[in-house]
């Protein structure tokens, strides 16, 4: 396992289309996070999972966004009816949490979404 993997790296879509991104975390990590980053800004938290349970969602995650982690391994982030404002880098990260301790989060290379 070489790290967190995201697919695709780049996605161009027309406004109104649906898109889905995939994240494969580091295999032994039980926590998985999704962040969004726009140009010139730091990453903004969207949601996170512990195993298959989605434990927290940001207010940034509108009802057009849905994330799943069905088997506690890989995760998908779907955006329905995309808008130009959804254009951003979508980052996935994973970490290992045990006994109240949360280890460092490691990030994937991101999926750059452009809505035209």
Partner 1 sequence: TQLLEQSPQFLSIQEGENLTVYCNSSSVFSSLQWYRQEPGEGPVLLVTVVTGGEVKKLKRLTFQFGDARKDSSLHITAAQPGDTGLYLCAGLDTGRRALTFGSGTRLQVQP
Contacts with partner 1 by CB under 8 A lie at 4, 6, 31, 33, 35, 40-45, 48, 50, 55-56, 91, 93, 97, 102, 104-110, 112
- Residue 86 is classified by DSSP as G
User: Which residue, 12 or 55, is less far from partner 1 as judged by CB?
Assistant: 55
Q: Which tokens belong to 49?
A: 């999972």
Spatial distance between the Cα atoms of 89 and 11, rounded to a whole number of angstroms: 10
Minimum distance, C-beta of residue 109 to partner 1, in the bound complex (Å): 5
Minimum distance, C-beta of residue 43 to partner 1, in the bound complex (Å): 5
User: Which residue, 74 or 107, is less far from partner 1 as judged by CB?
Assistant: 107
- Residue 39 is classified by DSSP as T
Spatial distance between the Cα atoms of 65 and 1, rounded to a whole number of angstroms: 29
């Amino acid at each position: 396992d070489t790290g967190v993997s995201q697919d695709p790296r780049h996605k161009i879509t027309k406004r109104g289309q649906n898109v889905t991104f995939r994240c494969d975390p580091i295999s032994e990590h039980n926590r998985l996070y999704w962040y969004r980053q726009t140009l010139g800004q730091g990453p903004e938290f969207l949601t996170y999972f512990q195993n298959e349970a989605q434990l927290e969602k940001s207010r940034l995650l509108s009802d057009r966004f849905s994330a799943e982690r069905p088997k506690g391994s890989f995760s998908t982030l779907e955006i329905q009816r995309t808008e130009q404002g959804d254009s951003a880098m979508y980052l996935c990260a994973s970490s290992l949490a045990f006994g109240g301790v949360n280890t460092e989060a490691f990030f994937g290379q991101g999926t750059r979404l452009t809505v035209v």
